[in-house]
Structure 1
Amino acid sequence: MLEIKGCLLVVLSETILKASIHLKQVKVLNKKMANSTPLFLGFLFCFISSVATYSSNETDLLALLAFKSAILPDNIGSLNSWNQTSNFCTWEGIVCSTQYHDRVAEINLASRGLEGTLSTYIGNLSFLRRISLRNNKFQGVIPQEIGLLGQLEFVDFSGNSFSGELPRNLSKCINLVNLSMTENSFSGMIPPEFGSLYRLEVMNLTNNKFLGTIPPAIGNLTSLTHLSLSSCGLTGQIPESFGQLQSLILLQLTGNGFSGSIPLGLFNISTIQLFEVADNQLEGTIPENIGFTLSNVRGILLAQNKLSGTFPDSLLNSTTLERIGLFSNKLTGRVPTDLGRLSGLWVIALWNNFFEGDISFISSLTNCTRLSVLRINNNLFTGFLPSSIANLSRVIAQIDISHNKIQGNISSDIRNLQDLAWLDLSSNYLEGSIPLGIGNLDKLIYLDLGRNRFTGEIPSSFGNLTLLSHMFLQENRLFGSIPSSLIDCTNLLSLNISHNNLNGSIPQEIMSISSLSVLLDLSHNSLTGSIPFEVGSLRKLTDFDLSDNRLSGTIPASLGSCLSLQGLYLEGNSFEGKIPSELSGLEGLRFLDLSRNNLSGAIPSFLSDLRLEKLNLSFNKLYGQVPISGVFRNNTLVSLNGNKELCGGILELQLPPCPPLNSSKKNKLLQPKFLIPLLVFGIIVLSLSICWIILIFRRKDSFSSSPSFLEHDQVMRFSYSDLLKATGGFDKYNLVGVGRFGSVYKGIIDDSTPLIAVKVFNLSVKGASKSLLSECEVLRNVRHRNLLKLLSICDSLDSQGYPFKALIYDFKANGSLEKWLHDHKEEDGDEELKKLNMIQLLEIAIDVAHALETISIT
């Protein structure tokens, strides 16, 4: 009842106020009435006006108090002044109109940390013209009563959590000029009724969750100068009616799901300064005359669509152009060589297209004194990197020419670009040494020179790049040691210098860069020595890769302090000893590769407790029982090949069963299945020993005087590259076996030659060279029909310039003698055990004795 009376009084007061304002415009008055009763009429008018004004002010007071009651108490105390001890016109954020007898005309509570809902009593503030609740925490729906505010001109509810649909009654606020509702959670359709807001100049609904298409009626808002509907979840086509918005200055439709083509009418709006329709599914071509029709454009962002065609040359006539964003489309052709005519350019973003030709246009960009961003990566550009790149704007902050086919060197004058923060020249054909001057770019944050042909050493001046967070130099031809000066790169998050020819030990300073948290990759080099104990300082590191080097020693227990590790790759080295138990603390570890080392001991049980997604322990010297829980339950996630003394595990691993725990070694040896082979073995050993002693005396003098067997025979000649090709790059699928001193691969030279077996010696293992000489010495003096024929010896250098030694034999496909002397299963899964019988064993012993006897003959 109070609300109804309040509304009536508001209507009455408004009527009287309007009458008083326009009283001078009344031309026809009843003179008799005016002359006879002037005092009475004046008294009556003042009385009614004062009562109405008091009642209207009371309505505004009650509406404001209701507004406050819907807001949660705030810690800042923004609404402490909102109490009845003072006039509401003095309250914080309230502006009253003196023209309308101190009625509330404006509410400005932006960025006050307020949280709550919007009261329906907002509709009682009938003289309200401006309201801003921007950057607060309001939620819930906007009440339909806001449509009662007929004088409302400005609404800004951006940066809140309002939800539900936009109130359709807002369309009744026909005086609305600015409507900003960005960064909320509005849903549903954009009301078509908004097309009646013919005075609207700004509509900003960016970052909401609308559904459906844009109502074509929005094209009727011919007063619009700013239309922002980016990231709203809208679909369908951009309405053709948008061509009627001839007053547009800013158009933002980025980040929706629009399809079809861009209405041609939009390209004819000469007032547009910012044209953004990026990140949609738009197709078609860019009009060739765009540079003439958008004569005032400053920014064109058509990126991340499906646009085709070529770079429009007419854009060179848009002298006001500052930003070009055409990246991630299907554009082809060449970029104009005189692109630098647009001297006001400060952003050029053309990456992820199919542009081709040379990049000579970079030379013309020296005219663009404000150029800050140049990104032309992931295209088909060719030619040489112009030295003029060092003469670009002194304020340039980002250069990305990666993933092209650019050749040449980096100019040493690149040190002049003192504001450069991002330099990416990766995945090209650049060569020469890395300029020392890059170390002078002390604002550099991101550096990627990977996947090129750079030679020389890593400049020690890189230690001056104290702001650097990512450094990538992988897949080049760099040599020398890792500079210890990198310890001064205290903000480094990623360091990748893998696949080079680096040597020497790992500097302990590198392991002390505690900021490393994303990646440390030193793999595929020729690093030697052990892992520094300081590795435990890398507590934030996620991925650590030292694979395929020449590292040795034990795995340091301090690795257990790297609690953030998810990937640890140490394969292809010469690490020995046991897997340290301290690794049990790496609860986030997902990928662990310790293969192709000399690790020994049992598989630690804690590995089954980690949530590993991939575990590779193959080709080590591990022994004992394999766990059956955790990662070991899935044979596709674990690799244990080449560990001959492992047993147990799940059936899919096809490992021999482990002996019962309650049987003694003595009892096992007395069992018939062990006793008979042992006796046979003893006889063979005794016979061989006697024969060996006899033959030693016979060949005592001739052993040292016999010339090398390869000097008398015609042998095949093989180079390192021949063997690399024959074995498929020493592919693991051609790996036949692994021993202490090397690995054996099968291969084929060509279709006209039989298979060969290549025994590659690991020269980093102590005793490997001696083993090679011994094997050659035996083969020089021994001849037998069942002895593998040595075809050749390869003594050369590998692709990284290190010594490479290998023996080449005829390949025999029936496996090794060891497998036939001991029980084994066929690899095809046949359960039947294959073994030699007693007669066959004796025949082998006789043949071996006969072979030894031939030593004296040869």
Structure 2
Amino acid sequence: MAHALIFFLVAHPLIFLSNPVAIFAAESTNKSEIDRQALLFFRDGITIHPLGVLSSWANGSTYCNWEGLVGELSPSLANLTSLARLDLGNNLFSGAIPKDLGNNMPLSTLILSRNNLTGQIPATLFANATSLTTVDLQQNSLTGVIPQFDKVTSLKYLYVTENLVSGSIPPSIGNVSSLHFILLDQNMLTGSIPENLSFNRLSGHVPLPLYNMSALKYFSLGRNGLHGQLPSDISYSLPNLQVLVMQSTNLVGSIPPSLENASNVQVLDLSNNSLHGRVPSLGSLANLHQVLLGRNQLEAYDWQFLASLTNCSQPTKLSLEENMLNGSLPRSIGNLSASLENLFFGSNQISGSIPVEISNLINLTLLSMENNLFTGSIPPTMGKLQNLFILNLSRNKLSGQIPSSTGNITQLGKLFLDDNGLSGNIPSSLGQCLSMVQLNLSYNSLGGSLPEELFAGPSLSLGVDLSFNKITGEIPEEIGNLATIVLLNVSNNLITGSIPSTLSSCYALSSLCMEGNGLSGNIPEFFENFTLLEKLDLSHNNFVGLPFSDFFQNSTLVILDGNKGLCSSPSALKLPFCYDTIESKKHGVPNHVTLLLVVIPSGTIASILLLWFVVALWKKDKEAEQKSENFSRNNETLKKLSYDDILKATNCFSMVHQISSNRPGSVYVGRFKYDKSLVAIKVFNLNEPGAYESYFIECEVLRNTLHRNLMRPVTLCSTLDTENHELKALIFKFLVNGSLERWLHCEYYSGMPERVLSLGQRICIAADVASALDYIHNQVTPPLVHCDLKPSNILLDIDMTARLGDFGSAKFLFPGLIVPKSLAEVGGTIGYMAPGEKVTLAFMQTYNFFY
């Protein structure tokens, strides 16, 4: 029931959006002057309409011929007298909402959502259009206050989410007894939360009589500037309430006991406030699906609330993280409904052992109890949770061994047991968890050798952290199977032997930490081929050979101190200075100056030869140092670009240099003065609506993400051109293999040779794209959706590694954001096949990717 309710909430405003143009239902005669004038009022209020929907609306023409106007050509058309529905959602309209909208017409449905509308909501709208049942203005940039609702008595749906509306909630909203949905979240509303719903007061002591709103089902005020207490009589005033969302609303005080009487509530979200006191019993809420009370100051006392939840037949999510829950977790937790999928108890003060009965919750997909005071061992019965994808028990006081039964959770994707007191060996059964992408067992007392099975099955693409344990033995050759791993940390253990050559297959590594072990032998040269590597820490080991290349002289990237058998020249690293030949440097041989002092007899000739030898080496070192400084200076120049640099690199934005062009901007290939590498320069067309937003969302995405399969910028340029017009550009590394679109449909690109992707390449590209989507959906906070996934936005590097680019349409899913479930709401540009991000492989098949 709850899922259907939420789906209806999301889908309702989009039911009539199957057409890319605006849709109008008219109830008027063919030549109704009233309707024609009303539509012209609306047209004159829209300053920009890039999609051209309003271009056919001429003063002297009949409105029935206007583009986007839909009606039935039947005899009854002559009896229709006025406009009843206006739907212009999901366009690019700018400007203000016309003040005369709704005059002389019984307008019942107004949908202007997801545009770029500014200005205030006209007060005359609710005063004149008295027949309104639906008002959808969400996701615009509207300001001002919400007008009074004195005359709109039939309104059922009010959506003003994600605007810049301020002021207090209008008191007259309480007079609209027909309201079913009120969504005012993510605005700038102020004032206090009503203290009493029968006679409420906001700031300024304005009465808010909500006692008539018995039909209200969805009430959302989250993420505003409101404050105060939760109304004590909310269950009596709103008997049909099903969804109550007040997260991040500065709520104080306790949760009123009367909430137990709100028997129809299905979703309760009071997270991220300052609520205190005990968690109330919610057993009377038989239809409860989600309880979100995290990030408050709530206490558990006798944990009666948990026992009361056993009366709820279908809860799916219980979130109480970051509160003040203490005491032991009761065994009654195993009596909760088997429908429970997500359980959050992290960052509290819960002590005692983990109840064995928790394994009764067989449908759990996420169990998060990190940062508590749990003691004892991990129950062996945890292996019964076959649907578990995330298990987080980190930062507790657990002891004993990791149960081998954990390997029975074959769907396990992320396992966090770090910062405990676990001992024994790492169970080889974890190799059976083929879906595992992240493993953190750091800061324990685990011993034994690294199990080969652990690296033979799971991808572990998001990283493995086994640091600060007592692991012995050598690094298994199977480590090379982790081709997509981005982080590997085995530092501060007792590992010996050399670095296996198979590690060269792990080309996606961005961080590799092996410091504080007993590793020996030569440092492999293949590390300089790891183009994504940002940290290589091999310090405090027993390495004796250092490759001679600029890569290993980068002290910000490579850490090698604490290896007595290594020296460096020039001494950019914290290593002894080498006075040997270049050939000797390749093998890291001992210092030859000391050898000369021992072997050459004392005397004048020996002194002259020694002096000549040292001076010659000093000159070579200075030349190398000067070369390094020049290289650094060139890179620094690249980071600070002017309009002139962009102009020269693109040959004055020549069409010859242009790779692609669309509405937000164009991409050029070029080369800067001090750099030999080609770059792709994305210049935004700031004259186009939405270009600013595309630029800033791309910057925000690039600032918050880091993944081998995402396009990374070399730098950006925000300046003025010669005419003082703004120029904004992003500079990327030029990927020589172009876009996936050009490989799949080379016949549409003149001059392109026919190229065929092998089956292996196709599978690797699909895996790369899926890895990028998994990262932005599940690892970025808040989660990120691309919204424009298609072959032309997938670029291929020289080794055919796929990288996802063009995040100009992307969206962050902030807490409380209603996630779209209707295809009609999905954005994207031409070529986008929604919902590609959810079914990546099906998306590939749509383009005959595997055929």
- Taking the TM superposition and a 5 Å limit, the aligned residue runs for 1:85-96 are none
Equivalent residues of 1:128, 1:151 under 8 A apart: no
Q: 1:100 to 1:625 in 2, by over 3 A?
A: closer
1:482 shift after superposition: 1.5
1:244 shift after superposition: 3.7
Q: How much identity, in percent, do the aligned residues show?
A: 32
Equivalent residues of 1:132, 1:157 under 8 A apart: no
How big is each residue's C-alpha offset from its partner over 1:490-513, in whole Å with a ceiling of 9 and x where there is no partner?
222211111122111111222234
Give me the whole-angstrom Cα distance separating, in 1, the residues matched to 2:239 and 2:26: 44
The alignment partner of 1:544 has SS state of strand
The alignment partner of 1:154 has SS state of strand
1:127 shift after superposition: 6.3
In structure 1, what is the equivalent of residue 245 of structure 2?
A: 301
Of 54, 71, 82, the residue aligned with 1:119 is: 54
Of 86, 90, 94, the residue aligned with 1:159 is: 90
1:423 shift after superposition: 0.7
In structure 1, what is the equivalent of residue 312 of structure 2?
A: 368
In structure 1, what is the equivalent of residue 121 of structure 2?
A: 190
How big is each residue's C-alpha offset from its partner over 1:751-784, in whole Å with a ceiling of 9 and x where there is no partner?
xxxxxxxxxxxxxxxxxxxxxxxxxxxxxxxxxx
Q: 1:78 to 1:383 in 2, by over 3 A?
A: closer
In structure 2, what is the equivalent of residue 250 of structure 1?
A: 181
1:366 shift after superposition: 0.3
Q: 1:167 to 1:94 in 2, by over 3 A?
A: closer
How big is each residue's C-alpha offset from its partner over 1:411-431, in whole Å with a ceiling of 9 and x where there is no partner?
323332222111111111222
Give me the whole-angstrom Cα distance separating, in 2, the residues matched to 1:492 and 1:292: 48
In structure 2, what is the equivalent of residue 713 of structure 1?
A: none
Are residue 356 (structure 1) and residue 299 (structure 2) matched?
Answer: yes
Are residue 404 (structure 1) and residue 340 (structure 2) matched?
Answer: no
In structure 2, what is the equivalent of residue 578 of structure 1?
A: 522
Equivalent residues of 1:486, 1:509 under 8 A apart: yes
Give me the whole-angstrom Cα distance separating, in 1, the residues matched to 2:65 and 2:354: 64
1:164 shift after superposition: 4.0
Are residue 477 (structure 1) and residue 412 (structure 2) matched?
Answer: no
Are residue 176 (structure 1) and residue 107 (structure 2) matched?
Answer: yes
1:386 shift after superposition: 0.8
Of 405, 410, 431, the residue aligned with 1:487 is: 431
Are residue 199 (structure 1) and residue 136 (structure 2) matched?
Answer: no
1:93 shift after superposition: 9.6
Are residue 323 (structure 1) and residue 255 (structure 2) matched?
Answer: no
In structure 1, what is the equivalent of residue 491 of structure 2?
A: 547
Give structure 1 stretches of 5+ with no counterpart. Answer: 1-76, 83-91, 106-113, 134-148, 633-637, 649-657, 679-858
In structure 1, what is the equivalent of residue 162 of structure 2?
A: 231
Equivalent residues of 1:220, 1:241 under 8 A apart: no
Of 262, 269, 290, the residue aligned with 2:193 is: 262
Equivalent residues of 1:216, 1:241 under 8 A apart: no
The alignment partner of 2:479 has SS state of helix
Equivalent residues of 1:602, 1:622 under 8 A apart: no
Give me the whole-angstrom Cα distance separating, in 1, the residues matched to 2:457 and 2:263: 48
Equivalent residues of 2:397, 2:421 under 8 A apart: yes
Equivalent residues of 1:603, 1:623 under 8 A apart: no
1:647 shift after superposition: 8.0
The alignment partner of 2:325 has SS state of strand
Q: 1:94 to 1:227 in 2, by over 3 A?
A: closer
Q: Specify the code of the residue in structure 2 equivalent to 1:234.
A: V
How big is each residue's C-alpha offset from its partner over 1:719-749, in whole Å with a ceiling of 9 and x where there is no partner?
xxxxxxxxxxxxxxxxxxxxxxxxxxxxxxx
Equivalent residues of 2:399, 2:421 under 8 A apart: yes
Equivalent residues of 1:206, 1:232 under 8 A apart: yes
Aligned residues: 544
Larger radius of gyration: 1
TM-score, normalised by the number of residues in structure 1: 0.57
How big is each residue's C-alpha offset from its partner over 1:423-458, in whole Å with a ceiling of 9 and x where there is no partner?
111111222222222222222121111122222222
Q: Specify the code of the residue in structure 2 equivalent to 1:280.
A: N
Q: Specify the code of the residue in structure 1 equivalent to 2:190.
A: S
1:362 shift after superposition: 0.4
Equivalent residues of 2:353, 2:376 under 8 A apart: yes
Q: CA RMSD in A?
A: 4.0
Give me the whole-angstrom Cα distance separating, in 1, the residues matched to 2:235 and 2:69: 39
Give me the whole-angstrom Cα distance separating, in 2, the residues matched to 1:484 and 1:614: 33
How big is each residue's C-alpha offset from its partner over 1:500-558, in whole Å with a ceiling of 9 and x where there is no partner?
22111111222234532222111111111111122222222222110111101112233
Give me the whole-angstrom Cα distance separating, in 2, the residues matched to 1:95 and 1:252: 25
Give me the whole-angstrom Cα distance separating, in 2, the residues matched to 1:456 and 1:403: 22
Of 460, 464, 467, the residue aligned with 1:520 is: 464
Give me the whole-angstrom Cα distance separating, in 1, the residues matched to 2:604 and 2:272: 74
Give me the whole-angstrom Cα distance separating, in 2, the residues matched to 1:220 and 1:608: 75
Equivalent residues of 2:296, 2:323 under 8 A apart: yes
The alignment partner of 1:423 has SS state of strand
Equivalent residues of 1:433, 1:456 under 8 A apart: yes
Q: Specify the code of the residue in structure 1 equivalent to 2:454.
A: I
Are residue 457 (structure 1) and residue 401 (structure 2) matched?
Answer: yes
1:669 shift after superposition: 6.5
In structure 1, what is the equivalent of residue 567 of structure 2?
A: 624
1:316 shift after superposition: 1.3
The higher-RCO structure (CA 8 Å, 6+ apart) is 2
1:310 shift after superposition: 0.9
TM-score, normalised by the number of residues in structure 2: 0.58
1:332 shift after superposition: 0.9
Give me the whole-angstrom Cα distance separating, in 2, the residues matched to 1:542 and 1:220: 60
Give structure 2 stretches of 5+ with no counterpart. Answer: 1-17, 37-48, 71-79, 195-199, 201-207, 581-589, 611-851
* Further displaced range: 289-298 or 422-431: 289-298
Give me the whole-angstrom Cα distance separating, in 1, the residues matched to 2:65 and 2:265: 41
The alignment partner of 2:422 has SS state of strand
1:382 shift after superposition: 0.6
1:212 shift after superposition: 2.2
Give me the whole-angstrom Cα distance separating, in 2, the residues matched to 1:128 and 1:314: 57
In structure 2, what is the equivalent of residue 212 of structure 1?
A: 143
Give me the whole-angstrom Cα distance separating, in 2, the residues matched to 1:99 and 1:275: 39
Give me the whole-angstrom Cα distance separating, in 2, the residues matched to 1:94 and 1:190: 21
In structure 1, what is the equivalent of residue 740 of structure 2?
A: none
In structure 2, what is the equivalent of residue 67 of structure 1?
A: none
Equivalent residues of 1:603, 1:625 under 8 A apart: no
Give me the whole-angstrom Cα distance separating, in 1, the residues matched to 2:138 and 2:23: 26
Give me the whole-angstrom Cα distance separating, in 1, the residues matched to 2:345 and 2:93: 43
Q: Specify the code of the residue in structure 2 equivalent to 1:456.
A: G
- Taking the TM superposition and a 5 Å limit, the aligned residue runs for 1:638-717 are 640=574, 643-644=575-576, 670=602
Of 529, 533, 543, the residue aligned with 1:589 is: 533
Q: 1:600 to 1:360 in 2, by over 3 A?
A: farther
Q: Specify the code of the residue in structure 1 equivalent to 2:53.
A: L
Give me the whole-angstrom Cα distance separating, in 1, the residues matched to 2:89 and 2:387: 35
Equivalent residues of 1:442, 1:466 under 8 A apart: yes
- Taking the TM superposition and a 5 Å limit, the aligned residue runs for 1:738-749 are none
1:472 shift after superposition: 0.6
Give me the whole-angstrom Cα distance separating, in 1, the residues matched to 2:442 and 2:151: 60
In structure 2, what is the equivalent of residue 560 of structure 1?
A: 504
Of 310, 323, 326, the residue aligned with 2:254 is: 310
In structure 2, what is the equivalent of residue 761 of structure 1?
A: none
The alignment partner of 2:162 has SS state of coil
Give me the whole-angstrom Cα distance separating, in 2, the residues matched to 1:310 and 1:567: 46
In structure 1, what is the equivalent of residue 761 of structure 2?
A: none
Of 391, 394, 419, the residue aligned with 1:447 is: 391
1:317 shift after superposition: 1.7
Are residue 335 (structure 1) and residue 279 (structure 2) matched?
Answer: yes
Q: Specify the code of the residue in structure 2 equivalent to 1:421.
A: T
Give me the whole-angstrom Cα distance separating, in 1, the residues matched to 2:66 and 2:261: 43
How big is each residue's C-alpha offset from its partner over 1:602-631, in whole Å with a ceiling of 9 and x where there is no partner?
465343587x75543221124333447xxx
